[in-house]
Homo-oligomer: A and B are copies of this chain.
Amino acid sequence: MGGVSTVGDRVDRVPKQDRSRATRQRLLEAAVACLAEHGWAGSTVSVVAERAGVSRGAAQHHFPTREDLFTAAVEYVAEERSTALRDLFPDGAADDRHAVVSALVDLYTGPLFRAALHLWVAASNEDQLRPRVTELEARVGRETHRIAVDLLDADETRPGVRETVQGLLDMARGLGLANLLTDDTARRERVVAQWTGLLGEVLG
């Protein structure tokens, strides 16, 4: 009987975990979309729960506070994008440096960047949010830097290389900001082409 019940438990437990994971994921994706579209002021747990088709109680079971939900959401999508970026260059360091720079810059356009920007800007004025977002930003920033170094095959033991890669990612963030209100694609592509060339002078 013990054996049967264990099997039964396991059978029950696995789909339940799956359901729970799927619910969590739906909430995270709805949270990022909500933040990108309505900003921090318009983004509450209730709004996200409704958008995700989940009860408010279930949402709060997963994310007890508003801060929990939105920082987790931005982190989740940032991780997804990091994985997608690595998958784009499965062999690691890429021969086509221009493609790598373009892909890095693309991290800072689109709904995730908009959502993250809303969260950053809200955190700059909200004491409850600031430490969480600061820590999240540092973690995501380190991971993005690591990916950039790998894909650009940058040797950071050489003087200036680390700061060159950092400046490139700062430029990518600034280009994201320039794309917030208007479609800046054409100008961005010219800047990316030119700065990829400059990068070549340092990285060899």
Residues of A at the B interface (CB closer than 8 Å) are 37-42, 114, 117-118, 120-125, 130, 133-134, 137, 141, 160, 163-164, 166-167, 169-178, 180-182, 187, 190-191, 193-195, 197-198, 201-202
Contacts and interface: CB of A to CB of B under 8 A. Distances in A.
A178 B173 CA distance: 9
A133 to B, nearest CB: 6
Given A137-B181, A170-B178, A160 B124 contact: no
A190 B163 contact: yes
Given A173-B174, A177-B177, 12 more contacts: A39-B122, A39-B124, A42-B125, A114-B124, A124-B181, A164-B194, A170-B178, A173-B177, A173-B178, A174-B174, A198-B201, A201-B201
12 contacts: A37-B125, A41-B41, A117-B177, A121-B180, A124-B181, A134-B181, A160-B197, A163-B191, A167-B171, A167-B191, A167-B195, A172-B174
Most chain B Cβ neighbours within 10 Å, of A130, A167, A175, A176: A167
A125 B36 CA distance: 8
Q: What 9 pairs across the A-B complex have the smallest Cβ distances?
A: A174-B174, A173-B174, A170-B174, A163-B194, A171-B171, A41-B41, A167-B191, A134-B181, A167-B195
A73 to B, nearest CB: 17
A167 to B, nearest CB: 4
Nearest to A193: B163
A160 B125 contact: no
Contact of A39 (B125, B178, B187): B125
A120 B39 contact: no
A105 B141 CA distance: 20
A154 to B, nearest CB: 13
Contacts of A123: 181
